[in-house]
């Protein structure tokens, strides 16, 4: 499909999208002919334009598939470890899972100053899952799309965390938990008070009344910035990393010398990226713990 560099990059950055095209939509077929749909149809998008035209009710099949697949893999590994959990000497995978659990447990105990049955498993989920999704970046960019292309799947974006929907899906869930626990711990009045009585307050009732909208604006921005920054940080880092992998992959079609250089660069960037994917997974987990810890704090 992709012939020139722009096309190649665009192709790599387009998700496999399943959604509904409205009646009367003019589809551009692979051979350039235009087919008008007689009725609204649920179908896979043939191009980025079609995917955009599908509107909100469309699914990125690749992102969802890979993220759900990785989640299932992790659940399988964890579930097996939990099932085999005993006080005997742990071996193999069991040992590894316990190592991760111990690490998460220590981190949560250090950063979270409340008592919650949710935070530690949540941190475990986020760290391992984000790590796995990011780690998909280390598979050479063309391998999986080529394999799927052979089966007639035209688009395949294999790194779920380069999809802004995925990162926002997680950060919005975290945000919902923040709001939930804020209200649960502090009560609605406490939560509203936190939003409106800081950072400016005054003993004078009248002045205080003036401050409330200002405070509300500032605190709302601060509150909303949390999930947005959480999602965009991960997305941005992974997207940029993926983009560089794609640009390096472009060099492979530029002659022997360039391809060799590309190989070296690919290797170097992958090694560096191991750090990035781990760090991003850790940051996402850490910030989630800190945000939830703040939500649990009663002033």
Query: What CA–CA distance (Å, rounded) separates 48 from 123?
Result: 34
Q: Which of 11, 27, 124, 234 lies at the binding interface for another protein (CB under 8 A)? A: 124
Q: Catalytic one among 46, 165, 233, 293?
A: 233
Residue 71 interacts with another protein (CB under 8 A)? yes
Per-residue interface string for the shown chain with another protein, residues 156-195, x marking contact by CB under 8 A: -------xxxx-xxx-xx----------------------
Q: Among residues 171, 229, 253, 293, which one is catalytic?
A: 229
Please, which of residues 260-289 interact with another protein by CB under 8 A? none
Cβ closer to another protein: 9 or 212? 9
Cα 67 from Cα 61, distance rounded (Å): 10
Helices 205-250 and 256-296, packing angle to 10 deg: 160
Q: Are 128 and 280 in contact (CB under 8 A)?
A: no
Give the count of alpha carbons within 13 A of 7, CB side only: 6
- CB-based contact 23:40 (threshold 8 Å): yes
Segment (H or E) for 43: strand 41-44
- 73: nearest Cα among 136, 17, 156: 136
Q: Which residue has the tokens 């395949």?
A: 156
Q: Which secondary structure element, helix H or strand E, spans residue 26, and what is its range?
A: strand 26-28
From the list 22-30, 96-104, 147-155, 247-255, the region that binds another protein by CB under 8 A is: 96-104
What is the closest distance, in whole angstroms, from the C-beta atom of residue 68 to another protein in the complex? 5
Which one of residues 11, 12, 27, 60 is an interface residue with another protein (CB under 8 A)?
60
Asked if 135 touches another protein (CB under 8 A), the answer is no
Q: How far apart are CA 9 and CA 247, in angstroms?
A: 8
Q: What SS3 class is residue 88? A: coil
Q: Does 47 bind another protein (CB under 8 A)?
A: no
CB of 168 to another protein, least distance (A): 6
Q: Which residues are catalytic?
A: 229, 233, 237
Instruction: Give the binding site for another protein (CB under 8 A).
Output: 13, 15, 17, 19, 51-52, 54-60, 63-64, 67-68, 71, 74-75, 78-79, 81-83, 85-88, 90, 97-98, 101-102, 105, 117-118, 120-122, 124-125, 129, 163-166, 168-170, 172-173
């Amino acid at each position: 499909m992709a012939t020139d560099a722009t096309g190649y990059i665009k192709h790599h950055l387009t998700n496999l999208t399943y959604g509904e095209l409205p009646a009367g939509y003019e589809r551009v077929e692979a051979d350039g002919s235009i087919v008008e749909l007689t009725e609204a149809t649920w179908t896979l998008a043939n191009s980025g334009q079609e995917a955009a035209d599908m509107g909100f009710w469309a699914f990125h099949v690749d992102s969802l598939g890979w993220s759900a697949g990785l989640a299932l893999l992790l659940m399988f590994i964890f579930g097996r470890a939990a099932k085999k959990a005993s006080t005997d000497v742990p071996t193999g995978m069991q040992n590894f899972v316990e190592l991760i659990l111990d690490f998460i447990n220590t981190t949560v105990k250090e950063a979270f100053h409340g008592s919650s049955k949710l935070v530690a498993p949540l941190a475990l989920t986020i760290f391992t899952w984000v790590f796995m999704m990011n780690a998909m970046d280390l598979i050479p960019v063309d391998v999986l799309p080529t394999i799927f292309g052979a089966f007639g799947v035209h688009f395949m974006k294999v790194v779920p965390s380069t999809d802004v929907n995925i990162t926002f899906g997680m950060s919005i869930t975290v945000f919902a938990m923040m709001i939930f626990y804020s209200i649960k711990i502090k009560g609605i009045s406490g939560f509203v008070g936190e939003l409106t009585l800081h950072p400016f307050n005054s003993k004078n009732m009248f002045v205080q009344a003036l401050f409330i909208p200002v405070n509300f604006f500032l605190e709302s921005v601060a509150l909303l910035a949390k999930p947005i920054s959480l999602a965009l940080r991960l997305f941005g880092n992974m997207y940029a990393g993926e983009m560089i992998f794609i640009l390096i992959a472009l060099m492979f079609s530029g002659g022997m010398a360039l391809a060799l250089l590309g190989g070296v660069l690919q290797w170097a960037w992958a090694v560096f990226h191991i750090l990035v994917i781990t760090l991003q997974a850790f940051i996402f987990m850490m910030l989630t713990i800190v945000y939830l810890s703040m939500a649990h704090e009663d002033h």
